[in-house]
């Protein structure tokens, strides 16, 4: 089993990840080692703080070992093909996390590897982040149907939120400036998933409409890695999509605030919101560790 996209996961698998996460979080570092003798390769073509540390600590706490391979170590597609690297590495390790640019690179690694592959982030998707986000909201507010308003860029996190909300049957409103909407193919697939779960999905350019009645207001950076050349243009386009105290009042609720980090304070979110009692940003970040323990336990523990 691989974890490439939430779209690929059945609802019971998602619930299984959350159940294992809860169990492992409650136990803490108990001395048990369910992944003793297991090894995880971390191939990072994009730099990372939370993703790398959370996966490394997760493997350590589960009794396993991780090997970090940066861009200069493997040079996928340069020193050797992604396919060859996947075939070789999967004879050494029990799992591979790939954090990269083009989503096709994750798919190519998955096709070649005989070991489970986890998408640690691609330009298209960030599934581990959103699984952790959903777990965190449930932890704070229970299992009731929620409305999440995603304000900002229709990026990889927004794409995974579309799939995630569709799978768990929540409402999701994504508000972006014109021209920055999520990919139509992702919206189309998420809407198909929503037919089964009863989720309500919406993509709009109207930020005030999106946040109305929202239980959670979620944002991300306006300029992701790889888009730096567009920074000035994006700052102008996203100016009215900043998450402020005034915007939060438009929800009509005591809404939670989330950000997948790193945050550009003063751009997509103000200090007053980021540091407010409504913010669960750092609880959300902590849960990356716990949910990734659940994911690794499920994927690597089955072998």
Count Cβ atoms below 10 Å from residue 229 Cβ, excluding itself.
9
Active site residue 260: yes
What's the domain count of the chain?
2
Mean pLDDT of 128-149: 97
Q: Are residues 149 and 258 in the same domain?
A: yes
Residue 75 annotated to the active site = no
Return the bridge partners of 76, or none. Answer: 80
Mean pLDDT across the stretch 76-105?
A: 95
Instruction: Indicate the range of 66-75, 82-91, 273-282 predicted with least confidence.
Output: 66-75
**Predicted TM-score (pTM) above 0.85:** yes
- 111 and 198 share one domain: no
Is 206 a residue of the active site?
no
Segment among 27-36, 39-48, 118-127 with least mean pLDDT = 27-36
Domain that holds residue 111: 6-126+287-301
Which pLDDT does position 77 carry in this prediction?
Answer: 81
Task: Indicate which residue of 50, 61, 105, 129 is catalytic.
Answer: 129
The stretch 27-41 carries a mean pLDDT of: 90
CA–CA separation, 161 and 175 (whole Å) = 13
pLDDT at 295 over 90: yes
Q: Is residue 1 part of a domain?
A: no
Q: Note if 71 is an active site residue.
A: no
- Is residue 129 part of the annotated active site? The answer reads yes
pLDDT at 302 over 70: no
Residues 89 and 182 in one domain: no
216 shares its domain with 203 = yes
- Judge whether 176 and 220 are in contact, CB under 8 Å: no
* Inside any domain, residue 66: yes
Q: Is the pLDDT of residue 286 over 70?
A: yes
Residue entry with tokens 């005030």: 208
Catalytic residue list contains 128: no
Mean of pLDDT over the chain = 95
The one catalytic residue among 94, 260, 290, 292: 260
């Amino acid at each position: 089993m691989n974890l490439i996209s939430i779209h690929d996961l059945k609802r019971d698998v998602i619930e299984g990840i959350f159940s294992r996460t809860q169990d492992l979080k409650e136990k803490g570092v108990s001395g048990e080692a369910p992944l003793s003798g297991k090894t995880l390769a971390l191939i990072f073509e994009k730099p990372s703080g939370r993703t790398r540390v959370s996966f490394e600590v997760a493997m350590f706490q589960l009794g396993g070992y991780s090997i970090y391979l940066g861009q200069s170590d493997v040079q996928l597609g340069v020193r050797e093909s992604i396919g060859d690297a996947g075939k070789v590495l999967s004879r050494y390790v029990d799992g591979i996390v790939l954090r990269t640019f083009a989503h096709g690179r994750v798919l190519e690694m998955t096709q070649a590897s005989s070991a489970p592959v986890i998408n640690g982030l691609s330009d298209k998707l960030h599934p581990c982040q959103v699984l952790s986000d959903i777990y965190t909201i449930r932890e704070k507010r229970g299992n009731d149907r929620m409305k999440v308003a995603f304000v900002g860029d229709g990026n990889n996190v927004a794409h995974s939120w579309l799939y995630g909300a569709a799978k768990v049957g929540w409402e999701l409103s994504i508000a972006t400036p014109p021209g920055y909407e999520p990919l139509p193919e992702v919206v189309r697939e998420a809407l198909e998933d929503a037919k089964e779960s009863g989720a309500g999905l919406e993509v709009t350019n109207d930020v005030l409409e999106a946040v109305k009645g929202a239980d959670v207001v979620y944002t991300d950076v306006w300029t992701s890695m790889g888009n730096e050349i567009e920074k000035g243009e994006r700052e102008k386009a996203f100016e009215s999509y900043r998450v402020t105290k005034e915007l939060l009042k438009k929800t009509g609720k005591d809404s939670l605030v989330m950000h997948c980090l790193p945050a550009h304070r003063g751009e997509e979110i103000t200090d007053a919101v980021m540091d407010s009692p409504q913010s669960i940003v750092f609880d959300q970040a902590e849960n990356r560790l716990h949910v990734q323990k659940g994911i690794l336990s499920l994927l690597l523990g089955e072998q």
